[in-house]
């Protein structure tokens, strides 16, 4: 089970609450890969996760624009890479219908990316954002 640890909090409530929801959805997807969940339920969870990631990244980027974050372009590019990688994985899943394999791939690559991104890039932005709003 993937959790939002204290060192993953940015201090920006909107971002942190979305990170909690994102992790909740990832955990649902991992649970769906246990082969007892229907393929339809797994597909529904994958679709929702993909949509939520796009919404979250958009909200985060909006805060970066408003606060004139100097690393906005770099941060946005990392989001685009994640969305592209997730889309490829989603296409692979839709072609194979193997939710266990998808869950393992998600667990091994995307979760580690998300954790690294939140602890690094998002934490850095959180510090900048809080300093701008004081």
Q: Is residue 3 part of a domain?
A: no
Q: Is residue 1 part of a domain?
A: no
pLDDT one-digit tens code per residue, 52-85: 999 999 999 999 999 999 999 999 999 999 999 8
| Cα–Cα dist 80/73, whole Å | 10
pTM: predicted TM-score of the whole model, two decimal places = 0.85
Q: Is residue 7 part of a domain?
A: no
> How many domains would you assign to the chain?
1
| Cα–Cα dist 31/27, whole Å | 6
| Cα–Cα dist 46/75, whole Å | 24
pLDDT one-digit tens code per residue, 27-51: 887 776 665 666 777 778 788 888 9
pLDDT one-digit tens code per residue, 86-117: 888 888 777 665 666 666 776 677 788 889 99
Q: Is residue 34 part of a domain?
A: yes
Q: Is residue 111 part of a domain?
A: yes
Q: Is residue 19 part of a domain?
A: yes
**Whole domain around residue 76: which residue ranges?**
12-133
* HSE toward the beta carbon, residue 82, CA cutoff 13 A: 25
Q: Is residue 79 part of a domain?
A: yes
- CATH number for position 57: 1.20.120.50
């Amino acid at each position: 089970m993937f959790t939002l640890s204290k060192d993953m909090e940015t201090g920006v409530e909107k971002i942190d609450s979305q990170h909690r929801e994102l992790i909740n959805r990832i955990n649902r997807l991992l649970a769906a890969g246990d082969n007892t969940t229907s393929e339809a339920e797994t597909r529904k969870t994958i679709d929702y996760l993909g949509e939520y990631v796009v919404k979250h990244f958009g909200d985060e980027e909006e805060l970066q624009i408003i606060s004139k974050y100097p690393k906005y372009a770099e941060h946005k590019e990392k989001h685009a890479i994640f969305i592209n990688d997730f889309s490829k994985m989603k296409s692979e899943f839709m072609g194979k219908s193997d939710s266990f394999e998808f869950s393992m791939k998600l667990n091994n690559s995307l979760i580690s990316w998300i954790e690294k991104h939140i602890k690094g890039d998002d934490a850095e932005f959180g510090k900048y954002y809080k300093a701008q709003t004081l």
